Structure 1
Amino acid sequence: MPMRNDSQAYGAAARFAHWATALCVFLAWPLGMFRNLAPRGAPRDTDLFIHMTLGLGVLLLLVFRLAWRALDPPPPAVVAPRFEPWIGYAAKAGHILLYVLLIATPLLGIVLQFARGQALPLFGLLAIPSPWAFDRDLVGQLVPIHQFAGDALCVMAIGHAGAALFHHWILRDRTLTRMLPVTQR
């Protein structure tokens, strides 16, 4: 599979970034949602470390995706002639919202970690010290916002997958297959 996109399908780099992002999101979400079910101490700390590592992975993958998209534009969208133009606008709006949530959710998590007065571990290699002391009020405000953003991101990602399946099974076009990791061109 070629590294770059062409007019018919996404290249290996775009596919890798897409599926790696999806994997990070869907692994990070339950770790964040159910973290408090883990016993206090090392298990809960490990859960949070993995959650933050996956969130940072999402952020790094997004930077790569946006840079790659600028260097290697995606193939044109598949046009379904039987639908109104607003479907295309809705798809664009959905993609923009996904990107906004892919940026906002990890950034909120970083600010939340700093509001706890704790360092931000960078993949276990080093840690960025918190620029702030613990701020209980800020933590109390950020937790539900970060959780809402994570929930919204998962809902949007599920909707994105549903739209891809709609294209595949109902419209019977190549929208899904041109992004699958093992599709032949």
Structure 2
Amino acid sequence: MTQQPAYGNTAKVLHWMIVLLLAAQFAIGWLMPDIQPGAPPGSAMTLHIAIGLIILMLIILRFAWRLFHPVAPANTLPRWQRLLSESVHWLLYGLVVATAMTGWFFASFRGWHLSPLVGVPLPMLTAPDSIAGRLVGGWHQAAGFGLLIAIGIHVAAAFIHAFVFRDRIMQRMLPRA
């Protein structure tokens, strides 16, 4: 499969939609009150879960798009930077999926029968109060923090390329002027 020299509009739109939704998701998650055992999900939790599912769908779509529309690494980067960039991108994909899936396990563990998107009920990934649900659901916060750290690294690298190296790498994901 031939690699494109730059990201297309679809890749850019998916990227920036995911960025905006993740920003909203972290804000809601951070501001959401603690969930007491046996409590039903409130509107903030239902919104949090709905956004998480949208992010999960978009990241899977973005991943599939990337597989079938690969973009050549910037040939101006040293080999170590290309490898590190590719690694961070795969880490981001993995952590987004891990965060969404552990959140889904958490909701299943709580026994929440939710229909956050167009009334379609979510399948339960584990039995309510199961040991597996408690274990995997407990990883949700750790996955979220890991994702936040990986996003910070990604953003820092983008700014370093834009303002220190001035090598126009970041422009590959920005809208064309």
- Give the TM-score range, shorter chain: 0.7 to 0.9
Of residues 142, 145, 166, the one that matches 1:151 is: 145
- SS for the counterpart of 2:172 is coil
Amino acid at match of 1:57: I
Amino acid at match of 1:183: R
Counting only pairs closer than 5 Å after superposition, residues 103-142 of structure 1 correspond to structure 2 as: 103-130=97-124, 132-135=126-129, 140-142=134-136
Amino acid at match of 2:24: L
Task: Answer yes or no: is the 8 Å Cα contact 1:10–1:178 preserved in 2.
Answer: yes
Counting only pairs closer than 5 Å after superposition, residues 1-185 of structure 1 correspond to structure 2 as: 6-7=4-5, 9-36=6-33, 45-81=42-78, 85-130=79-124, 132-135=126-129, 140-180=134-174, 182-184=175-177
Give TM-score scaled by structure 2 length: 0.84
CA distance in 1, matches of 2:133, 2:151: 26
CA distance in 2, matches of 1:118, 1:37: 16
- SS for the counterpart of 2:115 is strand
Amino acid at match of 2:102: L
Deviations 1:32-80 (A, max 9, x none): 2331169xx89x7111111111111111111111111122112433533
CA distance in 2, matches of 1:130, 1:144: 16
Unaligned runs of 5+ in 1: none
- Measured after TM superposition, the shift of residue 133 of structure 1 is 4.2
Deviations 1:90-147 (A, max 9, x none): 2222111111101111011111111111123242422125365421755553454101
Task: Answer yes or no: is the 8 Å Cα contact 2:104–2:125 preserved in 1.
Answer: no
Unaligned runs of 5+ in 2: none
- Measured after TM superposition, the shift of residue 168 of structure 1 is 0.9
Q: Percent identity?
A: 30
Give TM-score scaled by structure 1 length: 0.81
Amino acid at match of 2:10: A
Amino acid at match of 1:166: I
Q: 1:167 to 1:129 in 2, by over 3 A?
A: closer
What is the number of residues matched between the two proteins? 172
Amino acid at match of 1:32: G
